[in-house]
Each structure stands twice: as structure tokens, then as C-alpha cells.
Amino acid sequence: MEDNKTNSCYLHGVIAKELTLAFERKGERFFDTVLRTERTSGTEDEIPLTIPERLLCDGLDIGDTVTVVGQFRSWNEFEGEKRKLKLAVFVREFLDEHVMNETNVITIKGYVGKNASIRSTPFGRKITDLLLSVPRQFNKNDHIPVIAWGNNAVFADTFQTGEKIALRGRIQSREYNKADKNGNVVVMKALEVSVSELSIIDEIKDYGFDLIKEVA
């Protein structure tokens, strides 16, 4: 399975955080940073990046404008006794120029990890939350939170666990308030994929979108 066919994202934006060492594997180091991308509305999303050291031959500084192609990946991290899902874009390539009309686009295909959950905003707009299990090479899976709006939300509400779906959208960050164990309100950050196109597929290989061809 070519994993860039199940999970591809294209991001163009500005580096917003100094590089820090994330981990080392088989003699290669990997670094974390944050990319700030701007929506057409002017709202900015802050997206964590993980970058192999071999891609950093020219260095990377806060304020640099970059265009990357990668994958939106997940892993579990323990905070005390609690397990928390962490998300970041693993950078596969830096592009020399911005080649798409959009600054933030992702295409993924996978399996619905749990039954959809639909709700409404105070203004009556429908929202459906999904968790998508996306196959990756070496028998791994990424677990990606997905949010669908309006007609896509109504459609997504029909999905059952194990349903195969393909989608196109953007990676968004948002802040929300959560009470801690002492009742204090803490500002939290969430990452998720906001859907623009959505379809049911028969097989994972029958993918309806191909970001790599668009970028090539």
C-alpha cells in the first residue's frame, strides 16, 4: 500500500515556533515546530510539524515562509495515568514554490472508527464528529478526528463503524475551555480535519481524490 495515497496534506504558511528536538530513530533526528496557515476568512490555524533532520539542510527559522507536503499522523502520549491522542503533520517534502490555490488541504481515506455523532450549533447548523482510522505503511494506523458541517454532517451521520470513506478538507486548530479536576477553566487546543468533500468508497484503493497528482 502506498501510504501517500491514503493520507496526504499540502500546507503553505509561516514558521511560528523555534525548532526543538522531538526524537531520534536509527541515527536520524526529527524536529518539531509549528506552521501558521491563513484561511480565506483571515483566521489562522497553528499546525504542529515533525521534520526529519535530512530535510533541514538550509535550516529553518521563525518567520520563514514554507510549503510542505506530508501526512497528518497520530500517536498516543501518556500524561500521568491518562492517555491522550497527539497529532502532527509529518513532513515528507519541502516544495520550492507554492503551487496550489489553497494554503491548507488534506485528502485522506480510511475506516470510521466509531459511529458518527451529530449535534447542532446554537444557530441550528448541523455538525457531525467522526474518528477516522487511516492505514499507514508497516501495519500502522493514524486516528484522525474529523468534523463535517451542514449537508456533509447529515450525510456523515449515516456512517457506521468500519465504513470506508474518502474525504478532502483542511486541518484546523481551535481553542476551547475545559474545567480541570479542581474546577478551574483551562484553555485547550484541538486539531481536526474540517471536511469540504466526502464520499463512501467500496475499497480503500478506490480513492476519489489524489492530492499528489495535483501538486506534481
pLDDT of residue 2: 43
Say how far apart CA 175 and CA 194 lie, in whole Å. Answer: 15
The lowest-confidence range among 13-17, 63-67, 120-124 is 120-124
pLDDT digits (tens, 9 = 90+) for 102-118: 999 999 999 999 878 89
pLDDT for the residue 116: 84
Residue 32's pLDDT band (cuts 50, 70, 90): very high
pTM higher than the cut 0.75? yes
CATH of domain 3-215: 2.40.50.140
Q: What is the mean pLDDT of residues 23-42?
A: 94
Pairing of strands 28-38, 104-112: unpaired
Residue 54 CA to residue 70 CA, distance in Å, equals 15
Mention every residue, 6+ apart, whose C-beta is less than 8 A from residue 183: none
pLDDT, tens only, 48-74: 999 999 999 888 999 999 999 999 999
- Please, is 23 exposed, middle or buried when counting C-beta atoms within 10 Å of its C-beta (0-12, 13-18, 19+)? exposed
What pLDDT digit, counting tens, does each position of 151-174 carry?
999 999 999 999 999 999 999 998
170 vs 194: CA distance, rounded Å:
5
